[in-house]
Homo-oligomer: A and B are copies of this chain.
Amino acid sequence: MQHLIRTSDFSKDEILGLFDDAREFLKFEPNEILKGKIIVTLFFENSTRTRSSFEIAAKRLGAEVVSLDVSTSSASKGETIFDTVANINAMKPDAIIIRHSECGLPESLAGYVDCPIINAGDGKHAHPTQALLDLFTIYEHFNGNTEGKKVAIVGDVRTSRVAGSNRRLLPRFGMDVSFISPECFRYDGDEFKTYIHISDVIDDLDVIMSLRTQLERHSEIYFESLNEYAKDYCITNEVVGDRDILLLHPGPVNRNVDISDDMLKDPRCKVLTQVTNGVAIRAAVLKKLILA
């Protein structure tokens, strides 16, 4: 049995296999690949978007989804998360999808279950299905020729789990990842090139991955407002010009903070394609882990 805690749980070949399945699922032809399977979602952090994506992915394959409302659950009766998960596991689901604010929690649950655990985001650590769908979107855009492509991740790279998963995954497919962020959001580490200004590097880029800026996640006040941040980091038509650049964002986008209205309408911006690919990639992950 295999879990998906981080993208390194899958080999490159396994990931390419997921892409083959995802490509099939994008045809949206009816199927019953996971008929009779029960998938539990357990979101300790709200995320209608990610949860819906998983739910639709599961239902597209004929599986049943049981969404546990964690806020009203036994957690409030003083039960530990380990007991909660052990109990859910005793109901014999075929997979558990979990999001939690604590880094490493999904992994620590693996010893308590008899079914695959899928990490749908754990704190600042990882968000593996997001990184897989980002990679898939890039991979399809370049017809598989990702070798040497230059990707800049822009924004709060320090606390973003999307950045965390992507910086580990994209280099495995030959991509050159750099970070662009204000000093306060700078990545703590020296394995990646980091820049302060987009203009320093934009001419070399093939892909810009803008992140959602959540000032409230920081205990210190770095910017007086999102608009102040936007002055330097919003991806606008002016910034991108007529360069041949693929623009991505994990969503939800802060309009005119992360990306400008005009760039969101630009065909180079594939934010909604990412959403569609997300359903297909999650379906592929569910199929792989449950039928393994």
Contacts and interface: CB of A to CB of B under 8 A. Distances in A.
A52 B68 contact: yes
Contacts of A87: 49, 251-252, 272, 275
A86 to B, nearest CB: 6
A275 B90 contact: yes
A80 interface: yes
B48 A74 contact: yes
Max chain B Cβ within 10 angstroms of own Cβ: one of A59, A89, A90, A255: A90
Nearest to A276: B90
Given A28-B92, A275-B91, A48 B35 contact: no
A36 interface: yes
Contacts of A171: none
Max chain B Cβ within 10 angstroms of own Cβ: one of A52, A79, A87: A87
A66 B41 CA distance: 13
B30 A35 contact: yes
A189 interface: no
A37 to B, nearest CB: 9
Contacts of A130: none
A74 B279 CA distance: 17
Contact of A56 (B38, B272, B273): B38
A72 interface: yes
A59 to B, nearest CB: 4
Interface in A45-78: 46, 48-49, 52-53, 55-56, 59-60, 62, 64, 66, 68-70, 72-74, 77-78
Nearest to A61: B36
A89 B49 CA distance: 12
Given A72-B46, A74-B48, A254-B78, A272 B59 contact: no
Interface string A205-238: 0000000000000000000000000000000000
A226 to B, nearest CB: 9
A52 B74 contact: no
Contact of A79 (B59, B72, B73, B252): B252
Given A36-B60, A48-B74, A49-B73, 16 more contacts: A30-B35, A31-B36, A36-B62, A38-B59, A40-B52, A46-B72, A46-B73, A48-B68, A52-B68, A55-B66, A56-B92, A78-B254, A79-B252, A80-B255, A87-B275, A90-B273
